[in-house]
Copies of this chain bind each other. A is one copy, B any other.
Amino acid sequence: MTEIISSNKNDKIKYLKKLYSSSKRKKKGKFVLEGFRLIKQAYQSDAKFDYLFVTDSFAKSREYQEIISDSKLKDKEFLITENLLNELSDTINPQGIIAVVSEINYKIDEIVNNSEKILVLDRIQDPGNLGTIIRTAAASGFDAIISLKGTVDIYNLKVLRATAGAIFNIDFLNKLDYNMFNKYLKNDLANYQLVCSDPISENYYHKVNYDNKVILVIGNEGNGIRNDLLDKSDLKIKIPLKNGIESINAAMAAGILMYQINTK
């Protein structure tokens, strides 16, 4: 670790830059993490690291030394100039470190075996919303997340930041094709209660009964859940809205419903 990378023409840096695009990430099966907090959580959850790009000053910091010094990551480390790191980074303050990590591939049968409560996301658009939903899903005791194609990429950096690291505390399927999800619904997921959040439902969420095995679906911020999926639901629920308010934030709705289901 003697050379300090300063050019964005460097091959490793060119590779890293590609991973800032969602389609390139998917193709390579890799994603980017920025900042020590997220990277520490990835490390502690046994994520597979390809590269660690670290500034000289951060490499000498105590927090970095404590995590990485006696680790198996020594041969993944590359020093990088502060200027180049700031140029690459999506964050205003990337805290001196960027990592490239392999995607985590959960399988549907693992998820079914380990999950009583599964959250399904149908085209959530806002990265902050998605990250907050993931964080709250894990906190509430939901076991897994299935994110349908059309939802913002879970590996988007804004999403990862908003999870506050919780992405490493819950199983998930990212960008699942809707036809594939329908096959799962008929087979692997057939004995779950399919509960859809739907503002025009007649059932208040706190006055209904939930099974032990629940799939909760949250839909797009503007348009809700697609009709085909609503039609398949076992139960539609809504959150009461007072004082003339017409809607609440989608992440908030998800959190209120998940906590209700898990504390009832």
Contacts and interface: CB of A to CB of B under 8 A. Distances in A.
Interface of A: 128, 132, 135-136, 138-141, 164, 166, 169-170, 204, 206, 239-245, 247-249, 251-252, 255-256, 259-260, 262-263
Nearest to A242: B141
A248 B240 CA distance: 23
Nearest to A246: B164
B247 A164 contact: yes
B206 A242 contact: no
Given A132-B252, A170-B243, A251-B252, 20 more contacts: A128-B128, A135-B245, A136-B248, A136-B249, A138-B244, A138-B245, A139-B241, A139-B243, A139-B247, A139-B248, A164-B247, A166-B243, A169-B243, A169-B244, A204-B263, A206-B263, A240-B263, A252-B252, A252-B255, A255-B256
B245 A169 contact: yes
Contact of A249 (B135, B141, B242, B260): B135
Nearest to A131: B249
Given A170-B243, A263-B240, A135 B255 contact: no
A61 B27 CA distance: 45
A239 to B, nearest CB: 7
Contacts of A166: 243, 245
A135 B140 CA distance: 22
10 contacts: A132-B249, A135-B248, A136-B252, A138-B242, A138-B245, A139-B242, A141-B240, A164-B247, A166-B243, A169-B244
